[in-house]
Structure 1
């Protein structure tokens, strides 16, 4: 509580000193003067609550001073106590009270009476001050309520009837104030929201909640609907409700929800399209590659072998384009994962280099490799994606270089504890890229020049994939180039140094070591005729007894009629797909058929499709196109597990 200002006015200094000695305490602030004129100035400039005024003073006596104080609006509320030594006759008291005094103190002053009276008036002054402040607050609140853009209303907590409401209701809902007073606040809501509003208000009252926020639709006078945010406070059997029109925000929110739902629908449509495209394109390519592999095993002359080789190269090229499109889609959908493992970086780089060496030799250009001695042998990185990055950059460099060389350089830029910053540089002496086209070459389906596609071919996706892969790995890609002189692509990234992995024995000729199966019966579900032919040839070579059907329903019919050891199931088939067929087997068939091993043979490349296959009950997944040894390994593994369970 702030100190109370007390003004002491007496023409004699010793009287002031005596009064100050009597009144001194922490909750008051004494201001004194011997001049009535000075007293007027002090009262004007300071918030004086009590004035102790001597009656007998030269020039202006106490009565005249008090009359002037009471005549001024700024000082009229000061509590006046006269201090006098003149007669105690009633006529003087009447005159003093008539000028506005509230009490008298008579000289000589009695310390106890003086202290008691002043204390009483200090308390009175404090109460007056508090009342004044509260009145100012109420006035300010009234002004705020009156001019508020929100509806502010008080509501009876028992009946929910409106006790008071401000003028904003006319602007927001179109009602006059007197039309709503003593009506139920619940009736302001649209019919569907009235039970919810009533329930909320009852909950607030019953649980004695001090504050709550909720949104409801309110009905206007002209039968329109607005969304309102209601901020509700409960105190002393009264509900205080502040209602804001949030229709614009709600409309924007609903538009965002619709946009999100549309985007989600569009994403699902795109994913479905890409999944189907993946299956429809990769399935025939799988057939072409399989048939090519079979033709190679035949007795071919040199001309025929060259034709088969060209067929294989064309198929691999088509598969590369398909994979590029799918990779871009997966990256943009945020479903592309980077898997870091302990790998020998020198071996991975050397393998990529060796794979592309023949392309450089065909064009009679040099393909060079430089790996600095301080590059660690083993790092934690995704070998598949690093290979993809280097294959794209080196293939591009070779494609656009007619003479000279293409060089791959590995160097260490920084070495901090067990982490190194490695720089990969692909340098060529090719045609170069114009400065104004450098930024565009990383955009999907863009080429360095408008006629590049005609001259050199390609999808324009390679560098886009490279840039996105490097960014996903946390690295940075830069390029510098000059027309006619060549280009330099650099990408840098931090890697954790790893210990050398244990050497694994690698079977270099898996295809020749594929042993026949003994008394194995397999049901194949495949609707593509070429793939049916391939599977037939493959399984015959392995002495497998098999039957082939072309949809999921026929799988169920065959399995009901006969026993099989394994099912090879394509996922995309007419009438009933592989997912539904697998689910039906796992849920509706009796043992041991319910637990028959199922391998998904699908052209699907999206993670969610592979997860869908596992969720449907399939035991393993093999994506098309695949090598025969890969299928052989999975079949052998699952048959061994199944045989072990039967023996147990």
Structure 2
């Protein structure tokens, strides 16, 4: 069939009614429409071909075919203007219709999906978002890359650090497989690369022998999540050497805090372990050496002090005989030299005791007034020999009773005063004490010793308290002494918890001082004004500023009318202007008195005058005849306020005038004439000395040269007391005492008092003697006063035979008072009501405490016995019950030593002491209990 169809159709191009412009309009319009329709499919096809992710591709292709078909129909519209190919145009229209219908059929079901597609704005926003995310991703990738680089650098640095440190480091996973180690541990495993150890367990490494132990620790950490630190354990290196390591293990956690492994470090401490073992060995050797040193010191103390004891004791005995002046002088020189040597020995021993920690302080209630006066009086002779004035005004202003170690405090004061005497050529030395801080019941006391010597440079002051230090040749002070005195003072003060120092100016003077904090027991009762001093008038002649201040304070405190002159002219002026009907006491030094024309002076006065003269120790022993002609009382310097008060009272009340002299009281030779003493001593010199001192008081003395002989003599004869040396051949004093106390021995009296005599000066000597069963303790050199004290203390008791309790009435007869009323009264400020109230409470409570003690005694609980005795001791001390206090002290010590026999004997003595105390309280305080 021909595509053309000319019948009844005329091509429009030939139509007369179509003018040229209209024809042109149709041709151009269809042409450009066809051109556009042909280009659009090309673009669509190109777009789809370039986009793999385009959805609904068939729609694009159908639209492209539809537009292309439309373009053909428009092109056929142009052709059919001149060619009558209407069938062909119809075919293309049909094709266009088919494509359109197909597109519609395909498109309509897809419309919902297509509608769901985002709009352009959304696509643009999404595109922007994607662009931003892409940018961020690239930035993050860059940062990640940088972080990876830094991490790699850090890992490398960490690896370098881990490899550099000597400590082994490892970490394991949950299966306890190694995930990493440092170089040191890798070498221990005998490997070269970390990859060789990763994945292995302890069982596969050189320390497999310890794998079970390590696994147990690791599993404990995995299970508990807790660290295990500072574990000391063994391991083995690749050479099979055993090492000691200090291990620390901690759990490894993930982000959820779940334990995923174990991190550990361990340090090779083999060398420190070996050093530790060496230290232990060295410590044991040092302890053995220290024990040997202590034993050596004890033995040397005995060996050195024993002959010195003999020398000093013999000289003391010799001094008691009739000697001419030259002989007496030689004896004194010998005694002074021996005592100096003895003092040096004590310094060396004290220093050794301090170094070894064997020096122990013993605190007791002490009257500091008396203590300072005793020390000053003891040094006054040396001061007088050098023409120095020794002043001690402290006790008037600071009188008190305090808990101190009397022996060591005296030692410090003696050393410092002796040091001042040594380096002072003229002037005076002042011993002073002040309370610088008081928080009752404690107080801080400051002791000072000032001299008018040559002074000390600042450089030398820094060296004074060092051991073995003496001032060098550039110092103005000569180099004398051992260099130990001040060092020992520092050690003792520091042992007391105090401090010591010096203030000095070169070429002028020096003040040595020390401060200690102690417990004030009570303020010592001071003499006070009463009718004894009423109306008394005193004139003091004193050039020394210290004495002027001393008497001004003292007399004002007693409300005594007084005037003080610092020259003879002023003294006479005051005296002649004085008008008084009562006695006037003139206080001056003996030298002033001797230089005055007393007779002429008294002739010009219209009132009664008496004299209180301050004198030296030597003048007391040779009283000037002139003082016998007048009413005079002589007081030795340094003065004590109690003596001044008593002297004034005596002068005021027309009491018989007496000279206050310090002389040895005559010995009561017959006091113990019926007593039999056994002296157990092996040294012949000491036998002579001790026997002579004991016989001064009347006893009969027999000697046994060792413990074995002593046992034989005690088995055959009855003795009243034993003086027992501790170190002797054949059998020493300790063993001898133990056998005497044993019920199996054949001695007549198992409970005979035994007094230890020992030259040892080490801590624990007294305890060792008491532990052996001795009753008391004397340290050599033995002095007459100490022997007399022991005789009075122990011979006042009747012998206690085996199985018999002591008779209380006789056993408590001693020099120790049952009740010290003066002490008790001053402690409670003379308040009668308070004294009665406290005493009544004591009397009511003490039977209960003693009953409690008896109950504990039955149970034999030594610890509780000591505690209860300590309680009784404190109660007795507060009541000034001296006998009960002493017995409680012995009871406490016997409890600590577990000596039941002694405890059983002491209990009834305590009961009897309490009964006697109650009787005295009734009598003294009117308790009517």
Q: Does the 8 A contact of 1:586 with 1:617 survive in 2?
A: yes
Whether 2:408 is the aligned partner of 1:408: answer no
- Cα distance, 1:237 vs structure 2: 13
Whether 2:186 is the aligned partner of 1:167: answer no
- Cα distance, 1:287 vs structure 2: 1.0
2:246 to 225, 229, 233: 229
Q: Does the 8 A contact of 1:56 with 1:62 survive in 2?
A: no
Mapping for residues 594-613 of structure 1, pairs under 5 Å: 597-613=753-769
Alignment: residue pair count: 522
Distance 1:385 1:416 in 2: 24
Whether 2:682 is the aligned partner of 1:527: answer yes
* Higher relative contact order, chain-length normalized (CA < 8 Å, sep 6+): 1
Cα–Cα, structure 1 residues 563 and 444, in superposed 2: closer, same or farther, change >3 Å?
same
Extract unaligned runs of 5+ from structure 2.
Answer: 1-115, 142-150, 252-257, 527-662, 806-929
Most deviating of 395-404 and 208-217:
208-217
Q: Does the 8 A contact of 1:151 with 1:165 survive in 2?
A: no
1:217 to 234, 238, 258: 234
Whether 2:448 is the aligned partner of 1:430: answer no
Higher-Rg structure is: 2
Mapping for residues 194-593 of structure 1, pairs under 5 Å: 212=228, 214-231=231-248, 242-251=265-274, 253-254=276-277, 256-258=279-281, 260-371=283-394, 374-413=397-436, 421-450=444-473, 457-494=480-517, 496-500=519-523, 509=665, 511-512=667-668, 515-516=671-672, 518=674, 520=676, 522=678, 524-538=679-693, 542-544=698-700, 546-550=702-706, 567-574=722-729, 577-582=732-737, 589-590=744-745
Cα deviation code 1:69-125 (max 9, x no counterpart) = 479657999xxxxxxxxxxxxxxxxxxxxxxxxxxxxxxxxxxxxxxxxxxxxxxxx
- Cα distance, 1:238 vs structure 2: 9.3
Most deviating of 66-75 and 321-330:
66-75
3-state SS, counterpart of residue 234 of structure 2: strand
| 1:188 equivalent in structure 2 | 207
- Cα distance, 1:260 vs structure 2: 4.1
3-state SS, counterpart of residue 430 of structure 1: coil
3-state SS, counterpart of residue 442 of structure 1: coil
TM-score under structure 1 normalisation?
0.66
Q: Does the 8 A contact of 1:582 with 1:617 survive in 2?
A: yes
Mapping for residues 52-131 of structure 1, pairs under 5 Å: 55-56=118-119, 58=121, 60=124, 62=126, 65-66=129-130, 69=133
Cα deviation code 1:214-260 (max 9, x no counterpart) = 32232211233321123467999999865432335435544554554
| 1:630 equivalent in structure 2 | 786
Cα deviation code 1:153-179 (max 9, x no counterpart) = 66999xxxx743743463563434659
Distance 1:499 1:277 in 2: 42
Q: Does the 8 A contact of 1:411 with 1:424 survive in 2?
A: yes
Cα–Cα, structure 1 residues 383 and 585, in superposed 2: closer, same or farther, change >3 Å?
closer
3-state SS, counterpart of residue 499 of structure 1: strand
Q: Does the 8 A contact of 2:189 with 2:205 survive in 1?
A: no
Cα–Cα, structure 1 residues 196 and 528, in superposed 2: closer, same or farther, change >3 Å?
farther
Aligned Cα root-mean-square deviation (Å)? 4.9
Distance 1:215 1:167 in 2: 20
Distance 2:208 2:457 in 1: 66
Q: Does the 8 A contact of 1:186 with 1:197 survive in 2?
A: no
Cα deviation code 1:559-616 (max 9, x no counterpart) = 7888866554323334654445555666794587776654321111221333333334
TM-score under structure 2 normalisation?
0.48
Specify which structure has the higher proportion of strand.
Answer: 1
Q: Does the 8 A contact of 1:423 with 1:492 survive in 2?
A: yes
Extract unaligned runs of 5+ from structure 1.
Answer: 1-52, 78-135
3-state SS, counterpart of residue 426 of structure 1: strand
Cα–Cα, structure 1 residues 460 and 242, in superposed 2: closer, same or farther, change >3 Å?
closer
